[in-house]
Structure 1
Amino acid sequence: MTRTVFTGGTVFDGTGSPPAQADVVIEDGRIVDVGTGLDGDRSVDCAGTALLPGLFDCHVHVTISELGLLQRVQTPFSYQFYEAARNLWTTLKLGITTVRDAAGADLGIKQAVADGLIPGPRLEIAIGLISPTGGHGDGWLPSGHCVPLSLPHPGRPDATADGPDEMRRVARTLLRAGADVLKVCTTGGVLSPRDDPRHSQFTLEELDVLVTEAAMQGRAVMAHAQGAEGIKNAVRAGIRSIEHGIYLDDEAIELMLARGTWLVPTLVAPVNVLRAASAGAGLPDAVVAKAEEVAQVHAESVRRAVAAGVRIAMGTDSGVGPHGTNLEELELMRSCGMSPADVLVASTSSAARLLGKEGDLGRLAPGHRADLVVVSGDAYDFPALAANVREVWQDGVRAV
């Protein structure tokens, strides 16, 4: 097999150690050596650049590109799959080589990427958003029409559940459909006009059933959780990650620390809702008002979680905002008190750990898959990072 050596670059290995001059050698899709003075059959000159592990985004929606109600009802059903192909390619070009789709992508999209039919980050998929009747994932409108963000279809079964027995059925149905992770709403949300982000959804009994069903199949649960009580219910049930975490209180933070629960902040999400509204997306007034209310509260909650030592992994909720702007999240994370190194750790090795892939991805280390991003200039210059991505390698093959 051909040995490729990346020479002359500054390596950020994903552990948080200071970037240092080093060579990286890859062979047969894996990293085989990191050090100085290495050689190979061919060389990639990385002088003046930084080398990063392939980045992660732990919260995306690749089948969603528009939030406006009118746009959704006028777009043909199958158009979403072509949008997904475009959105995946756009994301890969940023150096994001692994994503967790938090509802929308089905097994066919994941397999199309894995088989090389379309280029994109490797996918972990939730398929559907588990919601109670009237909850964050219920697309019912006062007119009586129901317009969810993601319409059910054979590969994406309906995920509405009320009571422990229905929760068990929905969990098993999504697992059968190929879910790598189960996503549940334990609170209301910003984009659902008729609920409140601070209010809880699902009882602890219902959540216990969900976590048990997932665990029996070796899967974890992620929770859309914004209000403090719903966050605490999720943590007490053993849910692995809190998505958003807008109204964290001290007790919630203490519980997360005690249980080792992850936070995926998605700080850019409410910012993007407000941008969409300003651009004429036609969002309900209640949605815009909620986004305005939570933006500052959200950032303060994340600051407190960071200061307390809660485990953080990078995620953006892209789809709520434009795909291709994912790396804006990094500067927002830094503004919440994370050091530049910690931000990159949250986007590489910590994200890999959240997804259970820490032995395979997230670091530039021998034995890991050869996902590398070559960045011109300073890897800590987050506002310029997207524009500075020069090359993206995935499993030892140059993708960008």
Structure 2
Amino acid sequence: MRQTAALLLACTALPAFAADPVALHCERLFDARSGKVLGEHTIVVEDGRIRSVLPGRAKLPDGTASIVLDGRTCLPGWTDLHVHLGSQSSPQSYSEGFRLDPVDYAFRAVGYAEKTLQAGFTSVRDLGGDVSPHLRDAIHQGLVDGPRIFAAGKSIATTGGHADPSNGLNDRLSHLVGPPGPTEGVINSVDDARQAVRQRYKDGSDVIKITATGGVLSYAKSGDAPQFTVDEIKAIVDTAKDYGYTVAAHAHGTEGMKRAVLAGVTSIEHGTQMSDEVMRLMKQHGTWYVPTIYAGRFVADKAKIDGYFPEIVRPKAARIGAQIQDTAARAYKAGVKIAFGTDQGVGPHGDNAREFLYMVEAGIPAAYALQAATIHAASVLGVDDQGVIEAGKRADIIALPGDPVADINAVLGVDFVMKDGKVHRSP
């Protein structure tokens, strides 16, 4: 009790941004490079960065503020590489698209972002949503609390594809809004593809997301048919490189995945029907895999409930969702590089850490699953200042009781969160 009280007092006494050195005394430390849990360490944080990492409970100059994390393992803040902070699945999701305004989604997103941060996720890659670039900026400006956001903005699709915003509209509405084009993220040629990427740059995106195949929750029959030519995807990838962007490809079907990998995308998301040939190509091209097992299990479960999904969606959710965990197991055994993502927004925000449990159920070692959300995720993002607890890196540090490598269920108990040196959660 005295330890908890002392920890709470130490945390609440800190300023919003700790410019003076602060020492975190961790009983254990997860080394994301080796995947090992080390013994007691002291992490010194200053100006939002990790100044030093010292073995044991290091003696520091008098007056140095300290946070004692007895009984806890300190880890780099986690990254979820596939979220949609502007929404959350419910039986009302489809009708809400006609009733709610963008500002309604924005207000909801503020709460979703805070839940995500409180769960230990100090960074996310938001792969599709008009709200996310604005939420990113509000968080960066300190107006609201949330994870660091790498925002895709509007996903790029083809006509009738998974991210075509006019899917499901009746003739009257279709004529009213007109056919969407590259500005709205819908393409049908190589030139369109280039324009769509340039529009995302104009809109302030950080990453490009394409829907290389049909999807589960879109109002369309096919969940796996390929929806781009190789040349169209290659035009997206090449143009994205001009702006320093990586490209994430939503894909369920084998042919769409194959085209995306051959065209040079950075990551395959979901990958439900991934074949041995696609796995070989991904290893050959260095393509990352983000399984999103949580979303697959969630939609398969909800497909059993009458009325949760429209009838055109329900069979896709039942058939495709249930396969993702087995695909992740095969991909890990085959040596495909795996990084962490949940597709939250399909499932409830703040429950992201349950993906770790599903990864371990699939036969992925706990240490590898934790690396997937730390050092692997940083590689996918193309950044080198996060994902590990080392001097000079961002002070994104979380802590939880127990040892998550020994018992992966410990990931559900995060009770300390620091992002850029600011404490957002303490016991």
- Stretch of structure 1 that moved more, 172-181 or 61-70: 61-70
Equivalent pair of 1:268/1:329 in contact (CA under 8 Å): yes
Aligned position for 1:241: 267
Structure 2: distance between partners of 1:7 and 1:206: 52
Correspondence 1:191 to 2:210: no
Structure 1: distance between partners of 2:221 and 2:229: 16
Question: Structure 2: any 5+ residue segments left out of the alignment?
Answer: 1-18
Structure 2: distance between partners of 1:270 and 1:94: 21
Q: Pick from 90, 101, 104: which aligns with 1:76?
A: 101
Aligned position for 1:289: 315
Aligned position for 2:13: none
Aligned position for 1:326: 352
Correspondence 1:36 to 2:61: no
**Local SS of the residue matching 1:174:** helix
Matched pairs, number: 392
**Local SS of the residue matching 1:165:** helix
Q: TM-score, normalised by structure 2?
A: 0.87
Distance 1:145 1:79, change over 3 A: farther
Structure 2: distance between partners of 1:143 and 1:352: 43
Whose Rg is larger? 2
Q: How does 1:266-277 map to 2 (within 5 A)?
A: 266-277=292-303
Aligned position for 2:171: 144
Q: Pick from 307, 310, 314: which aligns with 2:336?
A: 310
Percent of pairs identical after alignment? 35
* Structure 1 residue runs of 4 or more that deviate by more than 3 Å after TM superposition: 142-147, 274-282, 380-384
Paired AA for residue 391 in structure 1:
F
Cα displacement string for residues 321-351 of structure 1 (whole angstroms, at most 9, x for unaligned residues)? 1111111111111122211100000011110
Paired AA for residue 209 in structure 1:
A
Q: Pick from 203, 209, 214: which aligns with 2:229?
A: 203
Structure 2: distance between partners of 1:322 and 1:120: 16
Q: Pick from 373, 379, 396: which aligns with 2:421?
A: 396
Structure 1: distance between partners of 2:271 and 2:84: 18
Q: Pick from 396, 400, 407: which aligns with 1:371?
A: 396
Structure 2: distance between partners of 1:146 and 1:304: 44
Question: Structure 1: any 5+ residue segments left out of the alignment?
Answer: none
- Stretch of structure 1 that moved more, 173-182 or 189-198: 189-198
TM-align CA RMSD: 2.1
The alpha-carbon deviation at position 278 of structure 1 amounts to 5.4
**Local SS of the residue matching 1:362:** coil
The alpha-carbon deviation at position 299 of structure 1 amounts to 1.8
Paired AA for residue 249 in structure 1:
S
Cα displacement string for residues 84-127 of structure 1 (whole angstroms, at most 9, x for unaligned residues)? 11110010000100000001134322110111011000010100
Structure 1: distance between partners of 2:338 and 2:36: 19
**Local SS of the residue matching 1:285:** coil
Equivalent pair of 2:221/2:312 in contact (CA under 8 Å): no
Equivalent pair of 1:69/1:282 in contact (CA under 8 Å): no
Q: TM-score, normalised by structure 1?
A: 0.93
Cα displacement string for residues 332-372 of structure 1 (whole angstroms, at most 9, x for unaligned residues)? 11122211100000011110111012x20000111111111
Equivalent pair of 1:131/1:137 in contact (CA under 8 Å): yes
Distance 1:351 1:6, change over 3 A: same
